[in-house]
Amino acid sequence: MRLSQLFTKSSKDISKDEVSKNAELLMKGGYIFKEMAGVYSYLPLGLRVLQKIVSIIREEMNAIGGQEIQMTTLQSKKLWESTGRWSDDVVDVWFKSALKNGSDLGLAFTHEEAITRIMTQHIHSHKDLPVYAYQFQTKFRNETRAKSGIMRCREFLMKDLYSFSKDKKSHDEFYEKIWAAYQRIFERVGLGEYTYVTFSSGGSFSKFSHEFQTICDAGEDTIYLDRRKKIAINKEVYNEEVLNSLGLKAEDLEELRGAEVGNIFSLGERFSSALKLHYSDENGESKAAFMGSYGIGPGRVMGVIVELFSDEAGIIWPESVAPFKVHLLCLSKEKSLIEKAENIYLELQNIGVEVLFDDRFDLNAGHRLRDSDLLGMPYRMILSDQSLKKGGIELTVRKNGKSEIISLKEVIERYLS
């Protein structure tokens, strides 16, 4: 990508009502555009980051047997009435509308009902189980407040996987697999060191659900963490009985702010029973499938990454999700140096390195360097009269600010291979 061809531009001015660091930096860098409170559009750079997060999640879901599908957002009133979740008294985040024929419909905030109805057409025998179906799909939630940038939106992308098993034993075996897969995901996107499994309310489904909470000042949850055991408890279930059941002691716990980046639930037979998702077991007896639900919000993950990995100058992307690995600048208007920078740009592309080339030679060096810090690529390569005199390229590692002048060959061997 050449910056001269990128239609988005950095900006000092953002919406005055924006209070979250993640949205502020992402808007300043031209990663996202704010449509209204809790509603954002992803621009080219932002979409590249989002797609990389999605790709990591998809790889891990496929590795444990997930099958990707795509369900519709539009939901019928009748389907959701069958489980009691159409009523605003039960679910208060619905966006509802109507067709021109007068039929009521809603914009899905989750998809348990929809996927269960689909499975009634495909699961009939114990031989048809297990099934692990997932999607990346836009959800709509009519949140009362949406003040945490892309960490809490009214319209957002979610990866939701639904498991269908013969019984609780089979379900529990898969639950362990997806628990481990989530830990790998958060490790790969750069959040592993800061993310802990957190016991939370299982609602009407089970005693506990499990959240993956990232320690973050911008988080909306209060959690109590035992660092040694790497277990946390959400404030909503914190009491002496829970502590005892988990083998934790109050004096070992830290009170912290956490941002929920994923969750896993055991659903049991609630939806399969309500929607008549039954199968014949080995003895020919009819049984309800045992279900689970597992969510991750890729946009939310992206927002948390920005909250954790940024400084006063801008974003500091982990390599695994950065829109480009290298930001290349030529700070000279000399034709020979510009040609050399062009050749470096092409050479990096040829060896498969994702590189953003700042070829905006009409802008001053200060402006371009500030943009580089704001955009936050892992490595910055500067070609200038000074670096050329010293026989190389100035290479700066964004996460620690360390710079050195070395040859292109050394840059590739030490940082880009």
Domain residue extents for the chain: 8-73+108-311, 326-416
Mean pLDDT value across the chain: 95
Residues belonging to the chain: 417
Residues 155, 140: contact at Cβ < 8 Å? yes
User: Does 19 have pLDDT greater than 90?
Assistant: no
User: Does 205 have pLDDT greater than 70?
Assistant: no
Helix (H) or strand (E) holding 356: strand 355-358
CA-wise closest residue to 183 among 329, 55, 56, 37: 56
* Residue 305 Cα to chain centre, angstroms: 9
Q: In what order do the strands lie in the sheet with 379-383?
A: 355-358, 326-330, 379-383, 393-397, 403-406
Q: What is the mean pLDDT of residues 174-201?
A: 96
Single-letter residue type at 335: K
* pLDDT level of residue 79 (50, 70, 90 thresholds): very high
Measure the CA–CA gap between 379 and 207, rounded to whole angstroms: 46
Architecture of the CATH domain 326-416: 3-Layer(aba) Sandwich (3.40)
The per-residue pLDDT for range 119-157, each reduced to its tens digit, is 999 999 999 999 999 999 999 999 887 779 999 999 999
pLDDT above 70 coverage of the chain, percent? 99
Measure the CA–CA gap between 299 and 40, rounded to whole angstroms: 10
Flag the least confident range among 40-44, 145-149, 174-178, 238-242.
145-149
Measure the CA–CA gap between 29 and 198, rounded to whole angstroms: 33
Q: Is-same-fold flag (8-73+108-311; 326-416)? A: no
Residue owning tokens 């990454």: 305
Measure the CA–CA gap between 179 and 296, rounded to whole angstroms: 12
CA-wise closest residue to 52 among 410, 270, 323: 323
DSSP codes of every residue in 145-168: ---SGGGS-SEEEEEEEEEEESSH
The per-residue pLDDT for range 344-358, each reduced to its tens digit, is 999 999 999 999 999
Q: What is the mean pLDDT of residues 225-242?
A: 93
3-state helix, strand, coil in the chain (%, to 5): 35, 30, 35
DSSP codes of every residue in 218-236: T-SEEEEEETTTTEEEEGG
User: Does 267 have pLDDT greater than 90?
Assistant: yes
pLDDT, residue 280, reads: 98
Which stretch, 143-147, 235-239, 305-309, 410-414, has highest mean pLDDT? 305-309
pLDDT, residue 140, reads: 96
pLDDT, residue 51, reads: 98
Does this model's pTM top 0.75?
Answer: yes
Measure the CA–CA gap between 257 and 248, rounded to whole angstroms: 19
* pLDDT level of residue 96 (50, 70, 90 thresholds): very high
Beta-strand pair 231-234/221-226: antiparallel
The per-residue pLDDT for range 286-321, each reduced to its tens digit, is 999 999 999 999 999 999 999 999 999 999 999 999
Sign of the CA dihedral running 45, 48, 49, 51: positive
Spatial neighbors of 204 by CB under 8 A, at least 6 apart, are 270
* pLDDT level of residue 16 (50, 70, 90 thresholds): confident
CATH code for the domain defined by 8-73+108-311: 3.30.930.10
Higher-confidence residue: 56 or 387? 56
User: Does 204 have pLDDT greater than 70?
Assistant: no
Q: What is the mean pLDDT of residues 388-406?
A: 92
Measure the CA–CA gap between 33 and 43, rounded to whole angstroms: 7
φ, ψ for residue 299 (rounded to 5)? -65, -40
pLDDT, residue 288, reads: 98
